[in-house]
Amino acid sequence: MNSDTGTAQAVTVVVTRVVAPDKEDEFARWADDVDRAAARFAGHLGAVRLHDGQGLHHLVYRFDTPEHLDAWERSDVRHDLLQRGNRISDPRRSRSADLVPWFTLHEPGVPPKWKRFLTTWAAAYPCLLTIATLLKLLFPGLPQAAALAINSLVLTALLTWVLQPRLTRQARAWLLQGARPAPTRGTTPVSRG
């Protein structure tokens, strides 16, 4: 980038927001408001929004200097917008002076195994109980091997295509709470917001 235009020190901020269930439309309106507000600040070079289809939204902002970015980040307008955004989503943020991360986004992190275990068990247990009870009632003389085969087949299908996606979507804020993104090359994790 050309240092005469002040873009040699350009700074990129990536905010990954975990959107609360059923708040996607409200989040889209909020993100539009953030984009419009940021564009009015000196040194704003652009913004990009990416969505991964699982409730995670990546908001990427670029300013020509750290000072212009800091002016935006300290502004009352941004503060008010963040308060509104925090009611519908949970932020994770990184900041970089490197040009590479402009389109290199980090993963939001993997939930701890104990949380994944609990959500899987919460979906599997009632399913197993229901299927096993129905099989005993409908086919009382069914051999155990056949009953287990049917039970595991129905359970796996329900978990894969019905229960786990819904449960994960409903619990995503809790699942990702405390999961920190691993910094990409040239980025430094910054406090939430």
Q: What is the mean pLDDT of residues 116-131?
A: 91
Name residue 63's beta-bridge partners.
11, 44
Instruction: Clarify whether residues 83 and 121 are in a common domain.
Output: no
- The answer, yes or no, to whether residue 103 has pLDDT greater than 80, is no
Report the CATH number at residue 52: 3.30.70.100
Give percent above pLDDT 90 in the chain.
39
Per the structure, how many domains does the chain have?
Answer: 2
What's the pLDDT at 125? 94
Instruction: Clarify whether residues 69 and 129 are in a common domain.
Output: no
Instruction: Clarify whether residues 52 and 131 are in a common domain.
Output: no
Q: What is the pLDDT of residues 132-170, one digit of tens each?
A: 999 999 999 999 999 999 999 999 899 888 888 888 878
Instruction: Clarify whether residues 36 and 93 are in a common domain.
Output: yes
Question: Helix/strand/coil (H, E, C) string of the chain?
Answer: CCHHHCHHHCEEEEEEEEECCCCHHHHHHHHHHHHHHHHCCCCEEEEEEEECCCCEEEEEEEECCHHHHHHHHHCHHHHHHHHHHHCCEEEEEEEECCCHHHCCCCCCCCCCHHHHHHHHHHHHHHHHHHHHHHHHHHCCCCCHHHHHHHHHHHHHHHHHHHHHHHHHHHCHHHHHCCCCCCCCCCEEEECCC
Q: Output the six-digit token pair for 35.
A: 């984009």
